[in-house]
Chain A
Amino acid sequence: MDARSEVQAVVREHRGWVLARLLRSVRDIDLAEDALQLALEAALVQWPRAGVPDHPRAWLVSAAKNRAIDELRRRTLHAEKEEEVAWLAELTGPVPGGAPDDAPIRDDMLRLVFTCCHPSLAEPSQVALTLHTIAGLETDEIARAFLVPPATMAQRLVRAKQKIQAARVPYAVPEANELPARRHAALGVVYLVFNEGYSATRGDALLRRDLCRVAIGLGRELVALMPDAAEVAGLLALMLLTDARSAARRTDAGELVLLEDQDRSAWDAAQLEEGIARTRHALTLQGVGPYALQAAIAAVHSEATRAEDTDWRQIVALYDELLRRAPTPVVALNRAVAVAMVDGPARGLVEMSALGSALDGYHLFHSARGALLERTGDHAASLDAYGRALALCQNEPEQRFLQRRIERVRARAPG
């Protein structure tokens, strides 16, 4: 890596943290971002020549702070704004150091996370703000990843920042009684970023892989910020385990491969190991919920070297727990699939029969039913279920997968 790209990497790593620190005193996000941008540009000029300073974060905080002070001085010359003069006083005061394990700066980052994921902002705005201010993605990158015109994404960010400013969305860690719900909302934003990268098939494939990595990076930051919360650790574990299997999830031609048919040697063993360790740890923490339990289910799958070695009884037990905490038809459907692996397809179909009214418009319900009916040998009903799944499915690789299934059943069906 040459000096400049090394500096760029350092700058990118610290950008969110420096912004978080600045926002403690500069409430105006635009002012803070402009000041930060100037500081980053100065770093890109000075560091390749003079070397990266020992405490790059502290250097950037102090450089950006000085630029913010300059700007505020310029503004207060024109109008005596009480608040800005107060900021100025606060800003010119001493700044705590910027070492990575510095507790005050960690609190700043946590505040920024909860501001970006504040429930008064629409979810797409929460996602855009989180990716922009915390993950440091450019507006264009976010727009491309979410298939939105850059101008739309830019406007979304501007509006969200204006609302934070004008409505005074607090830059604070929520009170203890609100913390679990607000933390859940923040985790939801990160998981949404991950799923956008993982599930969608449209758009730039490389960028989507990047989104998964960005989400995992955000997950790591949240774990560092909230090390004692089971769901925070659980979400990171879930993302690691899911992402570790992504190479085996598609053929070179882009066709979907089911978990049971995947080449398990193509899984990322080191990442699975980390995911499993983090799952175990998450389950020992307070507040185990849907993320930690889904991670535990993913961990059980990962521990089986062959599909037929999967401990389905344990998976059913975990789905029981999950269903108790998140009683949704989709969780019940997944549980029914696991039950079918333990007690046979007929039992799974009985479990599924109660879900028909809630999930009739969900293609995965019909494709799961079709698979169980295929196993019971009821070819006509299986074809019917696969057909309904195909009619509802919007995703091309999944459509091709269903077509292959239909052909397989037709080939087996007598007459």
Chain B
Amino acid sequence: MQYLLLIYESEAGRPDVKPEEMNAIIAEYGAFTASIKASGNYLGGEALAPVSTATTVRVRDGKPTMTDGPFAETKEQLGGYYLVEAKDLDEAVAIAARIPGARFGSVEVRPLMKFD
């Protein structure tokens, strides 16, 4: 069973983060990614550039329109994701809880829809 783990975090929430703390968090992400690769759960994952770089596209009456920024103005923004294989929701949630971002923001666990 595949789950997408969506990492939401406030981009403005931690302005006082020191460079060495940032490096520690990056190292933690590296270790986490290595561990889920070793355990066979990892299918993919990336960090996203800040929402200030986002563009939202809609097609209405056949005409595409673009707006600057993300779809919804929220306190926490989508900052990255992992795609994992897990045997059930409990395993997926346990993996999500180990993502460093879960301590600062939140991780949404979404099963992938299966078409068959």
Contact = CB atoms under 8 A, between A and B. Distances in A.
Given A167-B111, A168-B1, A120 B89 contact: yes
A168 B116 contact: no
Contacts of B109: 167
A118, A166, A172 — which one has the most chain B CB atoms within 10 A of its CB? Answer: A166
A170 B88 contact: yes
A81 interface: yes
Contacts of A118: 89
B61 interface: no
B104 to A, nearest CB: 22
Contacts of B95: none
Contacts of A253: none
Contacts of B93: 120
A170 B94 CA distance: 13
Nearest to B88: A170
A172 B87 CA distance: 12
Nearest to A81: B116
Interface in A163-217: 166-170, 172, 174
A86 interface: no
Nearest to A169: B89
B12 interface: no
A358 to B, nearest CB: 28
Nearest to B110: A167
Interface in A109-127: 118, 120
B17 interface: no
A79 B87 CA distance: 24
A75 to B, nearest CB: 11
For chain A, the bracket of interface size reads: 10 to 19
Interface residues of B, number: 10
A120 B93 CA distance: 9
Nearest to A80: B116
A79 B115 CA distance: 12
B90 A170 contact: yes
A79 B116 contact: yes
Nearest to B86: A168
Interface string B96-116: 000000000000010101001
Contacts of B111: 166-168
A167 B90 CA distance: 10
A85 to B, nearest CB: 12
B88 A169 contact: yes
Nearest to B116: A81
A330 to B, nearest CB: 29
Contacts of B89: 118, 120, 167-170
A244 B1 CA distance: 48
Interface in A248-274: none
Contacts of B116: 79, 81
A81, A118, A168 — which one has the most chain B CB atoms within 10 A of its CB? Answer: A168
Contacts of A170: 87-90
Interface in A122-174: 166-170, 172, 174
Nearest to B1: A168
Contacts of A81: 116
A133 B43 CA distance: 36
Nearest to A178: B90
A79 B93 CA distance: 32
Nearest to A82: B116
A174 B91 CA distance: 11
A81 B114 CA distance: 12
B57 to A, nearest CB: 28
22 contacts: A79-B116, A81-B116, A118-B89, A120-B89, A120-B93, A166-B111, A166-B113, A167-B89, A167-B111, A168-B1, A168-B87, A168-B88, A168-B89, A169-B88, A169-B89, A170-B87, A170-B88, A170-B89, A170-B90, A172-B88, A172-B90, A174-B90
Interface of B: 1, 87-90, 93, 109, 111, 113, 116
Sorted nearest first, the 4 A-B pairs with minimum C-beta distance are: A170-B88, A167-B111, A168-B88, A167-B89
Given A167-B111, A168-B88, 5 more contacts: A79-B116, A168-B1, A169-B89, A170-B88, A170-B90
